[in-house]
Amino acid sequence: MSATETAPAGTAAADPGERELTYLGAFNEAMFQLMRQDEDIFVAGEDVGVQGGVFGSFKGLAEEFGDRRCVDTPIAEQAIVGLGIGAAVAGLRPVVDLMFMDFVMVAMDQIANQAAKLKYMFGGKAELPLTITTNGGAGLSAAAQHSQSLEAMLCHVPGLKVVMPSSPYDLKGLMVACVRDNNPTIIVKNKRMFGSTGPVPEELYEIPLGVANVVREGADITVVAYGRMVEESAKAAKRLSEEQGIECEIVDPRTVQPLDTETIVASAKKTNRIVVVHEAVRFGGLGAEIAAQVQEEAFDYLDAPVGRIAAPFSPIPFSPGLEGHYVPNAKRISAGILETLGRPVPGA
């Protein structure tokens, strides 16, 4: 695959190679390669320079590119995003980092009222190649203000593209696509996945935004999941296949805005049953939107209501024990799949 070639639509690359990187390593490599290729790309955010980011996402960049392209900022999320908007309009290609997804709310005016709308307000004449990176998800006992999944709020704003990678391979390819896009994009890394590993090609490659990936094929039920829930869904699917002969098809949207409804609906028509899994709270989550779109386009194909597996409508607890009950896992996903299939749930 060449440096400019994209992965085949709807699939992972045919042969990503034997080399493996961690989830964070794939992101870091993408940043190095992008910044070497294009001098207009720079990074700004809290501790992204000398410290390399709170989780090490930007480690080593300051040493190679200097403090003019790795800009440490004050703790001021509105200013960070505002800096990025201004730089993007002026012709640069900024990557601005918000440490935790929860802090997106502090900068929501800049994100929703400025970045998302600027192109429309100038009749399409202004380009805004701004990438916002952040870290979401629970599982680290970071408590209620540092563990949220707020993608539904971002997806509700026209003009934004929202990306939630589920593997190191996808993270690198989707990050390249975000930075090269001439519209504001937000890429959400999942904190629990930082150390997970997977095959990642050395060359720079791009996965197109808005194209889902059929992670696992199956005939009995469709599971739509994104971010870390893809991994948990895959565990559930493996268990159900081995123990009960149930074959789940797993569809990972990868980009939750724009959403590849076509691939999701096609899978639902194939299996006739569908469940949606996400880490965000169930009420008002993307599961509801996906369920609505599926019933609008594939109602006559469904043999059961669309199932939703998500977090309860509650702040995220600090206690590891309570947090473990809060976040959906393979066991809960298995139970939700069985309920949608009308099968008995063991231990229920």
Q: Which of 146, 156, 278, 325 is catalytic?
A: 146
Domain 213-341: which CATH number of 3.40.50.620, 3.40.50.1370, 3.40.50.920, 3.30.460.10: 3.40.50.920
Q: What is the DSSP letter of 203?
A: S
If you average pLDDT over residues 130-135, what whole number do you get? 98
Do 255 and 227 touch, CB atoms closer than 8 A?
no
Per-domain boundaries in the chain? 20-199, 213-341
Confidence band, pLDDT 50/70/90 cuts, at residue 294: very high
Fold match, 20-199 / 213-341: yes
How far apart are the C-alpha atoms of 104 and 106, rounded to whole Å? 5
CATH for 20-199 is 3.40.50.970
Confidence band, pLDDT 50/70/90 cuts, at residue 4: very low
Other C-beta atoms lying within 10 Å of the C-beta of residue 90:
9
Do 168 and 298 touch, CB atoms closer than 8 A?
no
Do 178 and 187 touch, CB atoms closer than 8 A?
yes
Q: Where are the alpha helices (DSSP H) in 133-285?
A: 151-155, 168-180, 229-244, 261-271
Q: Which two tokens stand for residue 238?
A: 């493996």
User: What is residue 7's predicted lDDT score, i.e. its pLDDT?
Assistant: 41
96 has pLDDT over 60: yes
User: What is residue 18's predicted lDDT score, i.e. its pLDDT?
Assistant: 79
Do 271 and 246 touch, CB atoms closer than 8 A?
no
Angle between helices 23-37 and 168-180 (to 10 degrees): 30
222-256 pLDDT tens trace = 999 999 999 999 999 999 999 999 999 999 999 99
User: What is residue 125's predicted lDDT score, i.e. its pLDDT?
Assistant: 86
Confidence band, pLDDT 50/70/90 cuts, at residue 5: very low
Q: Which two tokens stand for residue 287?
A: 């599961």
Active site residue 146: yes
- pTM, whole model, 2 decimals? 0.93
How far apart are the C-alpha atoms of 159 and 117, rounded to whole Å? 6
